[in-house]
Structure 1
Amino acid sequence: MDNILIQVTGTKRVVLFSPSDVQYLYLNGDKSEVLDIDNPDVEKYPEFLKATRYECNLEPGDILFIPALWFHNVISLDFGVAVNVFWKHLGIYYQLNVPLDRALKTLDELPVEYKEFYARRLIARIESKVILRNPDTT
């Protein structure tokens, strides 16, 4: 969902990753397996270093728009209060848990940035299923 992050008091560091870098983020569901983004385990997550980071600090009164599909990591630098406002405008496109033929038809109807994101996720899911079933295949 789209998100507006409003910093009321205190300071936060926000790191964003574009949906175009989804193949480098080691997703498990909608979360990255890379927990320490500042010191990632490069043996376990070598592709993570290819992801482009967009970083900022939010101070009281700052407002940050985080578009749908942008992955983010937020760290409070001191005690603070923030408000998030989320909204969803994708309707059925937000969920791609449908049979392959319907998913492909749905992809054709999406705006380009959503199409690229969901196509990469779908490919990654299919590849993970194929690799799990055929571990001897390279």
Structure 2
Amino acid sequence: MDILSDILKKSEQIPIVRNLNTTTFKKDYLNRNKPVVIKGMAENWPAKKKWSIDFFYDLESNKPVPLEVGNIFQNESKFLKKDFKLYLNTLKKSEYNVEKDKTYLSMFNIFDQFPDLKKDTDFSIFTKYTKLNNTYAWIGPSGTISGLHWDSVNNMLAQLKGKKLVLLASPKFQKEMYISKKFDLGSTFSQVDINNFDENLFPKFRDVKFYQYILEPGDVLFIPVGWWHYVKSLDVSISVNNFGYLPKDMLTTNIIEHLLLRLHSRGLYRKNYCTCHTIVNGKRVSKF
């Protein structure tokens, strides 16, 4: 049963501000672990003005990229590889794509592949306070879903093309989220699939209080560490985000994540239950 519409009817809007400076951001949101939409923060970014499917298609690169197939957070981890330009060409025709399981170029290391594009974004309101930043692009058709999860560090998500629906829920709803044991570096998943909900398995989930917002091009959403979120593309979409590690995170979260990744890569931690490997013909195959 798909309960997304039911959640939207009962949810409140994520708080919105404009013209937020670094001091106020830190005092009112970063320090207090409160989410906020910064309306129009990316409006004048070069990325907002020029990034598009055609723009990426014209860049000098056609390396294979790993694509997620469907919602791999709550469902089976399925992925494939496709040449970058071939995937972009598919997106141009995506309005004719009626397949249920959409392919999604998620967590794309865009600045590794195109270093000159780094100057096209500006997360300095946030990165002024961080020691390590991991920046990714998210490119896909309408209907792609990142299921319910929370991130181990603070996150800023900027919408550049198309619209995305975002649901947020406070960290206090841990028990109601039915935490999954599926491994993903930097994320913790809920077992609950909002679009295929089973009330008999997850009866407490109905008690979760959600906030919602539809991100438009130019909007930036601050998602504090620990806040549950669900994201669904409403159009062909291009987003870019920044996972920022505060000084305290470097001594805790960063070290733990590196250890878990090494153990997982060697098959010593949640070997076959993750978003980065699948079993093909009896062999463990990496997404990358």
| Fold similarity call, TM over 0.5 | yes
User: CA separation in 1, counterparts of 2:251 and 2:199?
Assistant: 36
Structure 1 SS opposite 2:239:
strand
**How far does residue 40 in structure 1 lie from its aligned partner after superposition?**
2.3
| AA aligned opposite 2:176 | Y
- Residue of structure 1 in register with 2:155 after alignment: 3
1:32 aligns with 2:190: yes
- Normalising by structure 1, we get a TM-score of 0.63
Amino acid at match of 1:25: M
Ranges in structure 2 where 5+ consecutive residues have no aligned partner: 1-152, 182-187, 257-288
1:17 and 2:165 correspond: no
For the residue of structure 1 that corresponds to 2:201, the secondary structure is: coil
Looking at structure 2, the residues matched to 10 and 48 of structure 1 have their Cα atoms a distance apart, in angstroms, of 30
Distance 2:251 2:169 in 1: 24
Contiguous gaps of at least 5 residues in structure 1: 98-138
Residue of structure 2 in register with 1:70 after alignment = 227
Residue 217 (structure 2) pairs with residue 60 (structure 1) = yes
Aligned residue among 82, 94, 112 for 2:253: 94
Structure 2 Cα separation of the partners of residues 93 and 18 of structure 1: 22
Q: Deviations over 1:91-123 (max 9, x none)?
A: 44438x8xxxxxxxxxxxxxxxxxxxxxxxxxx
Percent identity between matched residues is 38
Greater relative CO, 1 or 2 (CA 8 Å, sep 6+): 1
